[in-house]
């Protein structure tokens, strides 16, 4: 399974996350927003929500996660120390114990269709929360 993820956060701390599962039958795009958050939380939440979706809807033991977040990728591989968002990393570790992730970094805003898609979806979610204020 191939998954693209992204997170976004506006200056007023409204954020959004999105993932897209690239499947042979159809692409699956899921996104949501949160208030009082950070960009790093949204980046990690996108991965967590993608893993939850895979676990609930597909019989997979491995997936490829493509992200433009070096922090999420390197902390996910335990190459970098996890200093913040420990609550989310605990959830990630539980999900990652049943689904092995092969990480791939994607340069942001570089014309990759799926990276642009999840980026726009995450930003739209953050903006929709701002519009409601």
Task: Give residue limits of the domains in the chain.
Answer: 2-131
pLDDT at 133: 61
Q: Supply the DSSP symbol for 85.
A: -
Q: Which residues pair with 31 in a beta bridge?
A: 18
* Predicted TM-score of the model (pTM): 0.95
Q: Is 68 a catalytic residue?
A: yes
Catalytic residue among 33, 34, 49, 119: 119
In the sheet that holds 62-67, the strands lie side by side as 28-34, 15-22, 2-9, 62-67, 100-105
Q: Is 93 a catalytic residue?
A: no
Say if CB 17 and CB 46 are below 8 A apart. yes
Long-range pairs for 29-36 at CB < 8 Å and ≥24 separation?
A: 29/117, 29/118, 29/121, 31/118, 31/121, 31/122, 31/124, 31/125, 32/125, 33/125, 33/126, 33/128, 33/129, 34/129, 35/129
- CATH domain 2-131 topology: Nucleotidyltransferase; domain 5 (3.30.420)
Q: Is 6 a catalytic residue?
A: yes
* The pLDDT of residue 130 is above 80: no
Average pLDDT, stretch 101-109? 94
Catalytic residue among 56, 59, 87, 109: 109
Catalytic residue among 15, 68, 76, 125: 68
Catalytic residue among 7, 15, 33, 76: 7
Q: 57: helix, coil or strand?
A: helix
Q: Is 119 a catalytic residue?
A: yes
pLDDT at 131: 67
Say if CB 3 and CB 22 are below 8 A apart. yes
């Amino acid at each position: 399974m191939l998954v693209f993820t992204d997170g976004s956060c506006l200056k007023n701390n409204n954020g959004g996350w999105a993932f897209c599962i690239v499947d042979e039958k159809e692409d699956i795009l899921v996104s949501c927003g949160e208030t009082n958050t950070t960009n790093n939380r949204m980046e990690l939440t996108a991965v967590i929500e993608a893993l939850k979706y895979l676990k609930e809807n597909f019989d997979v033991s491995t997936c490829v996660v493509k992200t433009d977040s070096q922090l999420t990728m390197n902390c996910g591989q335990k190459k970098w120390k996890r200093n913040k968002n420990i609550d989310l990393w605990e959830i990630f570790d539980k999900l990652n114990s049943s689904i092995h992730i092969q990480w791939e970094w994607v340069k942001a805003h570089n014309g990759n269709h799926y990276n642009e898609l999840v980026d726009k979806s995450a930003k739209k979610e953050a903006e929709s929360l701002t519009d409601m204020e």
